[in-house]
A and B are shown apart, each in its own frame.
Chain A
Amino acid sequence: MTTTNTELNSIAAQEYRYGFVTDIEADVAPKGLNEDTIRWISAKKNEPQFMLDWRLKAFRHWETLVEADSTPTWANVSYPPIDYQDIIYYSAPKAKEKLESLDEVDPELLRTYEKLGIPLDEQKRLAGVAVDAIFDSVSIATTFREELSKHGIIFCSFSEALQERPDLIRKHLGSVVPYSDNFYAALNAAVFSDGSFCYIPKGVRCPLELTTYFRINTAETGQFERTLIIAEEGSYVSYLEGCSAPMRDENQLHAAVVELIAHDNAEIKYSTIQNWYPGDRDGRGGIYNFVTKRGKCQGKNSKISWTQVETGSAITWKYPSVILQGDDSIGEFYSVALTKGRQQADTGTKMIHVGRNTRSRIISKGISGGRGNNTYRGLVRVMPKADNARNFTQCDSLLIGDQCGAHTTPYVEVRNNTAHLEHEAYTSRVDEDMLFYCNQRGLSTEDAQSLIINGFCKEVFRKLPFEFAVEATRLLDLNLEGTVG
């Protein structure tokens, strides 16, 4: 066992250990949302005209959705209506114009990331991780940029990419998730403030894990980031994002959009460890995590894998999807979603088989404890021309205690009779008898629980880069402290 009892107990005393607030001066947009807010944000970021035009189109579309009252309602989650005029749409730490190196980053900020365990320090190079950190609305520092640029890889904040490679953005932005896709995608397109951009040229295997760390700090702020990853022919990239936020009594909105594009023979691995503040025991506060993530396997024989470990947020609403357009392309979704306390998660994936011989694999592991509510919602769609499409779906649930809930809602739409689909599911419950059996073999309850959860999640953890698998295990252990007994 890696953790001792005393360690676990002392850590358990802090319920959410990332809940501190950084005292830093911020450049904040006026509360509320109208065309002026959007012009303000766009001007602040010195954006090209096409960008502002796109934002405004998105905003006008979003307004029609608000008027028609078409916030998504099909998810198995409940929350009071969100007042979109009561949110701050842009908040940036006041800083020097342009940062040349880490030395110029506000030390207070660096300390924040240190507390969060983010390897901003270039020395962490050895760990093979390049980091982009987003604090409230803007990107703070991107490490190893030089090293990456030697390979022709661009890894920077979205704002910088907009200045330096507007051509790439213009070509790809909205090509996988159009602003009209859904309510939150439209909102994001209108007001997104920053995010990560990543471009891997033809034939290049990215030598580092690329990582973005998202942090919401300012109160009443929404975070709307946008990530775009383009993998050219024959390239490979592994990208990981982590998230946290201070503890606050009011809910905060996080509505991100991620678009991935994989060309012929390219592979994108996208991993998420999401630990936004989940709210307190009684369901007060916490992040509303309403995210649209989609990848397009545009090229032949391309591959996109989503791996997610979702432990935080009051509400998670998220369906990382893959459009399997290129023949022989592969889409994968590996997910661990944990809900406890009053947390609600409605998450899953969509695999859209368009090309021939396309394959998809879905492994979903839902863990519920306390009074948590966990729903897997997945869609496998096979289009008429997708000959010999294959899908394997496994969605399992682990219930801890007897007050929590798990639901699985798999949808299947097959329009080609050569398709081959398999579905498996099982539910198990961690109860006193199981824990006593483990105790009787010398294991503490914490260690037993950790063993059971690791066993349950191993197919997903195996897909994470090693150090993140360790982090994910630790997060689950911490989050489940005190759920039983």
Chain B
Amino acid sequence: MLEIRDLHASIDGVNILKGVNLRINAGETHAVMGPNGSGKSTLAFVLAGKPGYAVTSGQVTYDGVDLLGLAPEERARAGVFLSFQHPVEVPGVRLDQFLRAGFNALQKSRGAAELDPLKFDRLLRQRVKTVNVDPAMTKRAVNEGFSGGEKKRNEMLQMAVLEPKLAILDEPDSGLDVDALRTVAQGINGLRTTENALLLVTHYQRILNHVVPDFVHVLVNGRIVKSGGKELALEIESEGYDKYEQPRGEALPSPA
């Protein structure tokens, strides 16, 4: 579904990603772990097309098309969803209206029927249950005055509504207490199918106890330095990132 080959990217002329390779198939969950500042969010943003990130070399193919050639909204319409590490406030715009606009934009681009407010409301109420959030949240302005936990749940709700093919979740667990973490994780698990894929970016191992990955990759200093199965996460939990943070020669290849 997604193939990243030797991806280099920079911000303001500073190289952040220094040759990332990664291949994700439908039905798989990949975890990318790494210390702060290693480039995890940069990778997520580059895949989603955030302005200001310059791809200096490498390719990204998504469903056979050149992902980097698409505008951010085109990527979203093609089924790429990014759950933001720091969700953005959209003042004055009610969440239900915001979501309906996004949902309909996706529907339209696929030649599917757009939903009127009543029909959409029905769908939204159902998704609110799936991810177990307070329905009152949908009547508030997007992320405005939301607590950290509410913002993360809101991202899950949006994912549940937009039903992406490739969901990139950038630290959906940061800032959550144990209960909130469990709810968010349940939400994520409820959305996993054999058709879609998950790229879960995290600093800590703990969410991986709930959302069990098929593959774990360690990203350090803009490169994937090690890949493995779910046990790699536990190893990092006990040993930390220290041993990977020494300058190394070549990046290790990711599993094919």
The residues of A with any CB-CB pair to B shorter than 8 Å are 1, 426, 428, 432-434, 436-445, 447, 451-452, 454-456, 458, 485
- Chain B 81-108 interface residues, beta-carbon cutoff 8 Å to A: 81-82, 84, 87-94, 97-99, 101-106
Q: Which residue of B lies closest to A427 (CB)?
A: B91
B90 near A434 with CB under 8 A, answer yes
Give the contacting residue for B105; candidates A1, A432, A485; CB below 8 A.
A1
B91 near A443 with CB under 8 A, answer no
Q: Verify if B249 is at the interface (C-beta below 8 Å from A).
A: no
A426 to B99, CA, bound (A): 24
The residues of B with any CB-CB pair to A shorter than 8 Å are 48-52, 71-73, 75-77, 81-82, 84, 87-94, 97-99, 101-106, 109, 141, 158, 162
A contact face: mostly helix, strand, loop, or mixed: helix
A437 near B105 with CB under 8 A, answer no
**7 new A-B contacts at CB < 8 Å, known A426-B91, A428-B91, A436-B88:** A428-B92, A443-B101, A443-B105, A444-B105, A455-B97, A455-B141, A456-B92
Complex contacts, B102 vs chain A, CB 8 Å: 438, 441-443
Complex contacts, B51 vs chain A, CB 8 Å: 432, 436, 485
Complex contacts, A441 vs chain B, CB 8 Å: 76, 98-99, 101-102, 105, 158, 162
Complex contacts, A426 vs chain B, CB 8 Å: 91
A437-B88 contact given A442-B106, A442-B162, CB 8 Å threshold: yes
Give the contacting residue for A438; candidates B52, B90, B109; CB below 8 A.
B90
A455-B105 contact given A439-B76, A440-B76, A443-B73, CB 8 Å threshold: no
Complex contacts, A444 vs chain B, CB 8 Å: 73, 105
Complex contacts, B73 vs chain A, CB 8 Å: 439-440, 442-445
Complex contacts, B49 vs chain A, CB 8 Å: 439
Q: Smallest CB–CB gap between B167 and chain A, Å?
A: 12
Q: Smallest CB–CB gap between B99 and chain A, Å?
A: 8
A442 near B109 with CB under 8 A, answer yes
A105 to B43, CA, bound (A): 66
Q: Smallest CB–CB gap between B86 and chain A, Å?
A: 9
B84 near A437 with CB under 8 A, answer yes
- Which 8 A-B residue pairings sit nearest by Cβ, starting from the closest? A455-B92, A441-B102, A455-B93, A442-B105, A439-B72, A437-B88, A442-B76, A428-B91
B91 near A436 with CB under 8 A, answer no
Complex contacts, A440 vs chain B, CB 8 Å: 48, 72-73, 75-76, 81-82, 84
Q: 23 A–B contact pairs at CB < 8 A?
A: A426-B91, A432-B52, A434-B89, A436-B48, A436-B50, A437-B88, A437-B90, A439-B49, A439-B72, A439-B73, A441-B158, A442-B76, A442-B105, A442-B106, A442-B109, A443-B105, A444-B105, A451-B98, A455-B90, A455-B92, A455-B94, A456-B91, A485-B51
A444 to B94, CA, bound (A): 18
Q: Which residue of A lies closest to B143 (CB)?
A: A437
A64 to B118, CA, bound (A): 63
A447 near B72 with CB under 8 A, answer no
Q: Which residue of A lies closest to B83 (CB)?
A: A440
Q: Which residue of B lies closest to A444 (CB)?
A: B73
Complex contacts, A443 vs chain B, CB 8 Å: 73, 101-102, 105
Complex contacts, B77 vs chain A, CB 8 Å: 442
A359 to B71, CA, bound (A): 50
Q: Which residue of A lies closest to B107 (CB)?
A: A442
Complex contacts, B75 vs chain A, CB 8 Å: 440
Q: Smallest CB–CB gap between B27 and chain A, Å?
A: 23
Q: Which residue of A lies closest to B114 (CB)?
A: A1
Complex contacts, B103 vs chain A, CB 8 Å: 442
A436 to B84, CA, bound (A): 11
Complex contacts, A458 vs chain B, CB 8 Å: 92
Complex contacts, A436 vs chain B, CB 8 Å: 48, 50-51, 72, 88
A428 to B49, CA, bound (A): 24
Complex contacts, A454 vs chain B, CB 8 Å: 93
A451 near B101 with CB under 8 A, answer yes
Q: Smallest CB–CB gap between A395 and chain B, Å?
A: 14
A452-B93 contact given A1-B101, A442-B162, CB 8 Å threshold: yes
Q: Smallest CB–CB gap between B206 and chain A, Å?
A: 26
Q: Smallest CB–CB gap between A484 and chain B, Å?
A: 11
A441 to B141, CA, bound (A): 15
A452 near B50 with CB under 8 A, answer no
A443 to B89, CA, bound (A): 15
Q: Which residue of B lies closest to A434 (CB)?
A: B88
Complex contacts, A433 vs chain B, CB 8 Å: 88
Complex contacts, A432 vs chain B, CB 8 Å: 51-52
Complex contacts, B71 vs chain A, CB 8 Å: 439
Complex contacts, B52 vs chain A, CB 8 Å: 432
Complex contacts, A451 vs chain B, CB 8 Å: 90, 93, 97-98, 101
Q: Smallest CB–CB gap between A480 and chain B, Å?
A: 15
Q: Which residue of A lies closest to B91 (CB)?
A: A428
A92 to B162, CA, bound (A): 58
Q: Smallest CB–CB gap between A483 and chain B, Å?
A: 16
Complex contacts, B91 vs chain A, CB 8 Å: 426, 428, 452, 455-456
Most buried by B among A441, A443, A445, A452: A441
Complex contacts, B105 vs chain A, CB 8 Å: 1, 441-444, 447
Q: Smallest CB–CB gap between B106 and chain A, Å?
A: 5
A436 to B52, CA, bound (A): 11
A139 to B126, CA, bound (A): 57
Q: Smallest CB–CB gap between B187 and chain A, Å?
A: 17
Q: Which residue of A lies closest to B51 (CB)?
A: A432
Complex contacts, A437 vs chain B, CB 8 Å: 84, 87-88, 90
Q: Which residue of B lies closest to A456 (CB)?
A: B92
Complex contacts, B50 vs chain A, CB 8 Å: 436
Q: Smallest CB–CB gap between B164 and chain A, Å?
A: 10
A440 to B73, CA, bound (A): 6
A442 to B103, CA, bound (A): 7
A432 to B88, CA, bound (A): 11
Most buried by A among B48, B98, B158: B98
Most buried by B among A444, A451, A456: A451
Q: Smallest CB–CB gap between A482 and chain B, Å?
A: 16
A20 to B175, CA, bound (A): 58
Q: Which residue of A lies closest to B144 (CB)?
A: A428
A437 to B81, CA, bound (A): 11
Q: Smallest CB–CB gap between A472 and chain B, Å?
A: 16
Complex contacts, B158 vs chain A, CB 8 Å: 441
Q: Smallest CB–CB gap between A320 and chain B, Å?
A: 24
Q: Which residue of A lies closest to B84 (CB)?
A: A437
Q: Which residue of B lies closest to A365 (CB)?
A: B92
A439 to B101, CA, bound (A): 11
A442 to B105, CA, bound (A): 6
A436 to B99, CA, bound (A): 15
Complex contacts, A442 vs chain B, CB 8 Å: 73, 76-77, 102-103, 105-106, 109, 162
